[in-house]
Amino acid sequence: MNLYHYAAPATFYRLAGRWTPWFAWGAGLLTGIGLYISFFVAPTDFQQGEAYRIIFIHVPAAWMSMFIYLVMAFWCAIGLAFNTRLSFLMARALAPTGALFCFLALWTGALWGKPMWGAWWVWDARLTSQLILLFLYVGIMALWAAIDDPKRGDRAGALLILVGAVNVPIIYFSVKWWNTLHQGSSINLTKAPSMATIMLVGMLVMAIAAWLYTIAVALVRVRGLILERERHTDWAQEAMKALKEA
């Protein structure tokens, strides 16, 4: 199999079209199973009661928000190194989903924090670094939005993402350190209470569902971006005609 063959926008457009339904249906199915486990199978937590169930959304969202940033950085590095247009489009297609998951993690975290800590927001190290990650996503998308020239936008965004990727661990540790200095040990998140296996299973199923959802949405978005970029070519115009008729 020649990978460069699939790096051509026209081939990848068709390939992505074939894959999307599989990932989308997989995501739907696993979300159903995961939600069933999290609401009906997983037992009520001894300490946290029913409110803990939000972690089935919260933890996968937080994982994905960080992981998507890394994947974007990976595609940007590939794009800058090998000059492949498709890589930049992948990064562009992933960013909105990453920002969405980031926001979702903060939102569900606030919903969980109110009954547990008695506050919607605490300047905890993880919350704060998650918030800064959201700012990074927003900055990247704002940069893309401001640059009309697609080639410049791709490369400028890629550079910013890579700078962010180097900086994210530093930000995380500085925030963590700032937090311990200022707050003492008011809340200790790192001491996770031992978790029932079924809770872990529910969380993992939801995490895989989030993965599949991300891939499906990114593929749909990248197909749109490919059509937009390749709108002058014959195959893209035919594809658009086919879309219009369908």
Binding site for other proteins (CB under 8 A): 132, 135-136, 138-140, 142-143, 146-147, 151-152, 155-156, 159-160, 162-164, 166-167, 170-171, 174-175, 177-178, 181
Closest approach of Cβ 156 to other proteins, in Å? 5
Q: Is the CB of residue 162 less than 8 Å from the CB of residue 77?
A: yes
Closest approach of Cβ 65 to other proteins, in Å? 14
Nearer to other proteins, 24 or 138 (CB): 138
Nearer to other proteins, 15 or 138 (CB): 138
HSE-up of residue 192 (Cα within 13 Å, Cβ side): 7
Closest approach of Cβ 64 to other proteins, in Å? 19
Closest approach of Cβ 143 to other proteins, in Å? 6
Closest approach of Cβ 145 to other proteins, in Å? 9
Nearer to other proteins, 39 or 123 (CB): 123
